[in-house]
Homo-oligomer: A and B are copies of this chain.
Amino acid sequence: MKIVLDAMGGDHGVQPIVEGLICALKHKEFSPIIVGESAEIQKFIPQDLRSKIQVIHCSDYIQMHELASSATKRKESSIYIGMELVRNGEADAIVSAGHSGATMSLATLRLGRINGVSRPAICTMMPTSIEGKYSLILDAGANTDCKPEYLVDFALMGYEYAKSVMGTANPKVGLLSNGEEDIKGNELTKETFSLLKEYGFFIGNVEGKNIFDGSVDVVVCDGFVGNLVLKSSEGVASAISKILKQEIKKSVFFMLGAFLMRKVFRALKARTDHSEYGGAPLLGVNKTVIISHGSSNARAIECAIYQAIHALEANVCDKIKELKS
């Protein structure tokens, strides 16, 4: 199993990428290829691992302010080189914390969409209040303007991912809407609803709160809405954390209480921190592509590599191909 890591373009440089890889190598059997500034990368690889990690030198990368469309012309960039390795069969999967638009656009154009899939979608894991249970939301940002048939494909791909990669028996798929009743929705979701109701896995409209209460396994929406829900949720969690810190500082008793509860806060972080899920698979392209947050730490990269491995082991690309054939 060969996995390419794009070491460039992350917010914190190559260090967390290499460190995440080293952690992953301790727990899983795979052959890594890392593309990026070679001298920088080598600094973080211990002597005994140098033979295990193939480094391909590349100093160019797509910067955050650049247009995603420029990626297809930048053949010397780390993401282009990495993607070509997957395209040529020299690697099985790619993980990148660089410019996500560039990754999506290269994955779609160079690896190709799976036949019959209208649009690839980013599939993100969300924590729920039930311990050990996550929901999937897709599209989390690849497609801002969608048609009903795209959302139907998202539902099918999310269902397959939940079943084969997450191991959920009979995943329940819901359509994100402004109310649970069948008549609720905007023009896009109402039309999508009428198409999805043919599928046994479809449980109908779900509301924003259901993403986090464990009542649904896969939540389908367009990429604009998915992005807003994701960023708003992160915003709420961050605001709550800031408010708690402000309030705790107001008394030594509160500080003592917080000290006693520190493991509770650590557990909360572990259960809700996106580092723990790693990245988000781009579903609907011919190969396994994992898109990580630009701000990924080593743990997030390590988990993103596990995600790539799980997706390969579960053969999810082939299963989506079968679904659509």
Contact = CB atoms under 8 A, between A and B. Distances in A.
A225 B224 CA distance: 9
Name A's interface SS. Answer: helix
Interface string A61-96: 000000000000000000000000000000000000
A260 B268 contact: no
A207 interface: yes
A123 to B, nearest CB: 16
B176 A228 contact: yes
Contacts of A109: none
Interface in A266-300: 267-268, 271-272
A213 to B, nearest CB: 7
Interface in A183-224: 185-187, 189, 207-213, 221-224
B212 A145 contact: no
A27 interface: no
Nearest to A214: B239
A236 B137 CA distance: 14
B272 A263 contact: no
Top 3 A-B pairs, shortest CB-CB distance = A257-B260, A208-B231, A208-B232
Interface of A: 127-129, 131, 141, 144-145, 176-179, 185-187, 189, 207-213, 221-225, 227-240, 242-244, 246-248, 250-251, 253-254, 256-261, 263-264, 267-268, 271-272
5 contacts: A178-B223, A186-B224, A229-B229, A240-B240, A243-B267
